[in-house]
Amino acid sequence: MDVLAAPADRHKGWYLPLMAPNTKGPSFAWLDPSRLYCNSQAFGDCVKDLLIPFHSDSIDLVAGIDAMGFILGMRLLLVDQWVETGGTMKAAIQLVERLGATVVGQW
């Protein structure tokens, strides 16, 4: 499946093949969603589907935890909402580059 393409007929769960199975032994397995982040339509449809069970709840914020890092070779724009000395941005750039991504801009 092409990571960047979205099919014309987008049925519920069409994006699931983008999530590669990953294992670390017999008792530790998960689906790696990193390739969803490369396809805005897939990511959007996945989020919409995940929210269906909560449509009647009053939710103010959704927080996510990710320990996967970046897809090697990915180019990204790094954004920091607070700038004083630039130390946090410098550390973030070093981390991102150490994990194999390329920072193409910072804001």
pLDDT bracket for residue 63 (50, 70, 90): low
Buried b (16+ CB within 10 A) or exposed e, 35-48: bbbebeebbebbee
Q: How confident is the model at residue 68 (pLDDT cuts 50, 70, 90)?
A: low
Q: What is the pLDDT of residue 69?
A: 60
* 6-50: pLDDT as tens digits: 778 888 888 888 887 777 777 777 777 878 888 889 989 988 998
Percent of the residues in the chain that have a pLDDT greater than 90, as a whole number: 4
DSSP code of 104? E
pTM: 0.55
Helical ranges in 34-100 per DSSP H = 40-51, 87-98
Please state, in angstroms and rounded to a whole number, the distance separating the CA atoms of residues 99 and 49: 30
pLDDT on residue 26? 74
Q: Where are the domains positioned within the chain?
A: 1-68, 70-107
